[in-house]
A = this chain, B = another copy of it.
């Protein structure tokens, strides 16, 4: 599959896909003319990359972590700790976001209730 197809399939821009490759997150082979050809699992991989980016992991961290998903032999204790750290961070972030959501929901509630007198 070519870059346009992968872009359409994932919602990531071609620019982003090239960036992922540049950062070592995504592999491609090339046609004789130099255009990128992506293997079958690329869609899932890009989806995963997007998830991790959205979770606040930067590309370097993702590059460290990603290989282990496909290759269990690459798992080191150091990486396990790293991963656990990221998990904790994301969990804390979710906690914090939940509280903030409650604040926003409370405000929306007030909007819904108070102007009922109007």
Which residues in A have some Cβ–Cβ distance to B below 8 Å?
A: 48, 51-52, 54-55, 65, 68-69, 72, 75, 77, 79-80, 83-84, 86-87, 90-91, 93-94, 96-101, 103-105, 107-108, 110-112, 114-115
Contacts and interface: CB of A to CB of B under 8 A. Distances in A.
Contact of A100 (B83, B90, B96): B90
Copies in the complex: 2
Nearest to A54: B96
6 contacts: A68-B107, A69-B107, A75-B111, A80-B112, A90-B101, A93-B97
A103 B61 CA distance: 15
B104 A86 contact: yes
- Mostly, the A contact residues are helix
A103 B86 CA distance: 11
A20 to B, nearest CB: 17
A55 B97 CA distance: 6
